[in-house]
């Protein structure tokens, strides 16, 4: 089955199916990537984002369930952050090396960064070893999730609208000053919105392949910006201020981040052009119609 909600079926039943499928895939991917902790962490964090995207859509149907389970997946994802950041820095340096005339120097910088980042990976490796237990507890908690059928349409629309409104607020702030924290929030909200488009594509005409692609592209661009910010932070934290490699590479990365931020804001503005009120009302009406049993 796909990462999509069938409005003809009970919403809580669909939620249990989708979450269960994500758990199954996460377990399989963890097993496949067992020899590569960084790759395993990357794959698991992707699954956790999909789980949190679904929870974000359903938060209004059971606020206590949302708060508890979202915290579970957020904490697990954060515990894997060092592994993710190390993998991100390594891939980004490889990409920059292929685009500059100083690949040997970048390789040396990468080796030094890798040594420094590895010191922070032990806790993430321990968290990764316990990840399956957290997923099992999350699966067990699903048994207590229930949504009254007559509240499904309003709950879905409210969850979608809350995230969409947060995305538009983050966009306004990012447009005003380009601060990393606002771009980070915009990235998270756009990622959820892309997931909501996927989840609701059976009932919402706005979820065309083109619309989903535009939302994903905008979110991925913000992800690329975030990778650059992480690399700058690693360079500043792990290399001395007078280090020759840091002195020429860090400004280059900062320049790229600034250019990426501008493209991100423009792309996000096109995706989030409609008002929250219009989007919420449309989804609630369409979901209500799609959920009605045939005559």
Q: Can you tell me the mean pLDDT for 236-265?
A: 89
> Who has greater pLDDT, 127 or 33?
127
Q: For residue range 66-89, what is the model confidence (pLDDT) as tens digits? A: 999 999 999 989 988 888 888 889
For residue 196, pLDDT over 70 is answered with: yes
pLDDT band at 295; cut points 50, 70, 90 = low
pLDDT band at 101; cut points 50, 70, 90 = confident
Q: What would the DSSP string read from start to end of 68-135? A: HHHHHHHHHHHHTHHHHHHHHHHHHHHHHHTTSS-HHHHHHHHHHHHHHHHTTHHHHHHHHHTHHHHH
Q: How far apart are CA 11 and CA 45, in angstroms?
A: 25
> Which residue carries 């895939």 as its tokens?
25
Q: For residue range 22-70, what is the model confidence (pLDDT) as tens digits? A: 989 888 877 876 778 888 888 889 999 999 999 999 998 888 999 999 9
Q: Which CATH superfamily is domain 11-291 in?
A: CHAD domain (1.40.20.10)
Report domain extents, the chain.
11-291
Handedness of CA 219, 221, 227, 230 (dihedral sign): negative
Q: For residue range 51-63, what is the model confidence (pLDDT) as tens digits? A: 999 999 999 888 8
How much is the pLDDT for 213? Answer: 94
How much is the pLDDT for 191? Answer: 96
Q: Do 160 and 57 contact (CB within 8 A), yes or no?
A: yes
């Amino acid at each position: 089955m796909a990462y999509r909600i069938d409005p003809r079926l009970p919403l809580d039943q669909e939620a249990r199916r989708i979450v269960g499928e994500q758990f199954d895939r996460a377990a399989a991917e963890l097993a496949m990537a067992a020899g590569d902790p960084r790759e395993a962490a990357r794959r698991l964090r992707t699954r956790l984002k999909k789980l949190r995207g679904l929870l974000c859509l359903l938060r209004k149907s059971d606020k206590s369930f949302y708060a508890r389970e979202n915290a579970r997946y957020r904490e697990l994802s954060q515990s894997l952050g060092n592994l993710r950041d190390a993998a991100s820095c390594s891939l980004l340096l490889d990409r920059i090396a292929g685009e500059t005339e100083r690949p040997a120097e970048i390789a040396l910088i990468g080796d030094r960064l890798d040594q420094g980042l590895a010191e922070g990976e032990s806790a993430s490796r321990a968290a990764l070893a316990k990840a399956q237990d957290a997923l099992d507890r999350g699966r067990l908690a699903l048994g207590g999730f229930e949504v009254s059928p007559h509240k499904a349409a309003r709950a879905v629309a409210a969850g979608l609208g809350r995230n969409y409104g947060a995305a538009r607020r983050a966009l306004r702030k990012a447009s005003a000053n380009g601060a990393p924290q606002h771009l980070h929030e915009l990235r998270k909200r756009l990622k959820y919105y892309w997931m909501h488009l996927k989840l609701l594509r059976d009932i919402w005409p706005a979820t065309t392949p083109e619309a989903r692609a535009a939302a994903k592209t905008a979110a991925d661009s913000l992800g690329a910006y975030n990778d650059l910010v992480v690399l700058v932070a690693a360079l500043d934290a792990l290399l001395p201020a007078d280090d020759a490699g840091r002195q020429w590479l860090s400004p280059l990365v900062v320049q790229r981040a600034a250019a990426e931020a501008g493209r991100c804001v423009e792309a996000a503005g096109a995706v989030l052009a409609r008002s929250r009120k219009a989007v919420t009302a449309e989804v609630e009406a369409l979901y209500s119609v799609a959920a009605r049993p045939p005559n």
